[in-house]
Amino acid sequence: MKTEGKAQEILTRIQGKKNNRRDLNTTEYKKDGRAVYETQNLYEGNVFKNALSNAKKFIGKSISNIRKNAKKILNQLKRDFLGSKSASNFQPGKMLAMNYKAKDTKKRFDKNPLIICLGAPRNKKLQKTHTLGLNMHWMQMSDRVKLASFFVELLKKRNGELTYDDVKPFISKFKGSPILRMYIIKNIGPKVIEMPTDQFMMASAIPSEKWA
């Protein structure tokens, strides 16, 4: 009986490890599953509708004026929100304008990325040295504003907190666009502009990208 009990314990543990990877009925995955499905419902519901509506109004009224005065606006943002790089900058949901030098300079990269942070990558070896982000400069201008507006609405719903799983349904609509990037933190310049949420759409409309 003791041997059977031990064997059953081992079998249960092995099955539990398998389930944690794939099975939607496990507690660990069920939690993540709820987050994903809830976000899919948000995508189809008010969050997405509000985001598109706000982006459409913004594009119609403000975007041309912002582009004409881009340099002045960017300088004002620097005066108001420029600060030193720190770990808190890279919390999911933060929007950052920064300077960056890619490790592989032979490939095309953006020296002045505007990113929405998604936090550390899942690879444990990279979690202290890298951060994931959506670089809006890899998108068309109208899509940048839509994405910024979507994040404003989503952050309201999430009380300022979100995960990569929260935004996957929206990102999937931009297939073929390399907006999801991984950045080496030490290669980010010492100063970053951390945009307040109410400036997300305006910041996204500034053509500040610099390609190399």
The share of the chain scoring above pLDDT 90, in percent, equals: 52
Per-residue pLDDT, 164: 75
The share of the chain scoring above pLDDT 70, in percent, equals: 77
- pTM of the entire structure? 0.78
Amino acid at 112: N
Q: Which of the listed ranges 29-33, 56-60, 146-150, 206-210 does the model predict with the highest average pLDDT?
A: 206-210
pLDDT tens digits for range 163-203? 777 777 777 776 667 888 999 999 999 999 999 999 999 99
- Phi and psi angles of residue 126, each rounded to the nearest 5 degrees, phi first: -105, -5
pLDDT tens digits for range 41-80? 555 467 778 888 999 999 988 988 998 899 999 999 999 9
d(CA 66, CA 72) in angstroms, rounded, equals: 9
Q: Contact 55/146 with Cβ under 8 angstroms? A: yes
Amino acid at 73: I
